[in-house]
Amino acid sequence: MKKTGEGLTRRDFLKGATFATLAATMGLPGQTFAEGGEKSESSRVVLVRHADVLSKDGSASQEVTEEMIQSGIRELFQTETAEEAWKKLFGPEDIVGIKSNVWGPLPTPGAVENAISKGLISAGVDEKNIDIDDRGVLRNEIFKKATAYINTRPMRTHHWSGVGGCLKNPIMFTPTPWAYHDNSCADLAKVWELSVLKDKVRLNVLVMFTPLFHGVGAHHFNAEYTWRYNGLILGTDPVAVDSTGLSILNSKRREYFEEDRPIKPPAHHIVFAQTKHKLGISDPSRIDLVKLGWKENILI
Which residues in this chain contact other proteins in the complex, by CB under 8 A?
1-2, 7-11, 13-15, 26, 28, 103, 158-161, 171, 177-178, 181-186, 214, 216-220, 222, 224-225, 264-266, 268, 272
Cβ burial of 160 (10 Å; 0-12, 13-18, 19+) is exposed
103 or 294: CB nearest other proteins: 103
For other proteins, give the closer residue by CB, 219 or 278: 219
Least distance CB 38 / other proteins (angstroms): 26
Q: What DSSP designation does 232 have?
A: E
276 φψ region: left (φ > 0), alpha (ψ -120 to 50), beta (else): alpha
Phi-psi label, residue 16: left if phi above 0, alpha if psi -120 to 50, beta otherwise: left
Nearer to other proteins, 94 or 242 (CB): 242
Judged by CB, which is closer to other proteins: 161, or 274?
A: 161
Q: How far apart are CA 30 and CA 296, in angstroms?
A: 29
Q: State phi, psi for 148 to the nearest 5 degrees.
A: -155, 160
Distance, in Å, from the CA atom of 203 to the CA atom of 113, rounded to the nearest integer, reads: 13
Least distance between other proteins and beta carbon 128 (Å): 32
CB of 159 to other proteins, least distance (A): 3
Nearer to other proteins, 21 or 161 (CB): 161
Distances (CA, A) of 27 to 119, 276, 296: 36, 19, 24
Chain-centroid distance of CA 140 in Å reads 23
Shortest Å distance, C-beta 205 to other proteins: 21
Task: Provide, rounded to whole angstroms, the least separation between the CB of residue 261 and other proteins.
Answer: 10
* Contact (CB, 8 A) for 190 and 217: no
Nearer to other proteins, 72 or 215 (CB): 215
Q: CA separation (Å) from 234 to 30, 116, 242, 256? A: 28, 12, 10, 26
C-beta of 3 vs 202, nearer to other proteins:
3
Smallest distance from other proteins to CB 13, Å: 8
Least distance in angstroms from the C-beta of 44 to other proteins: 29
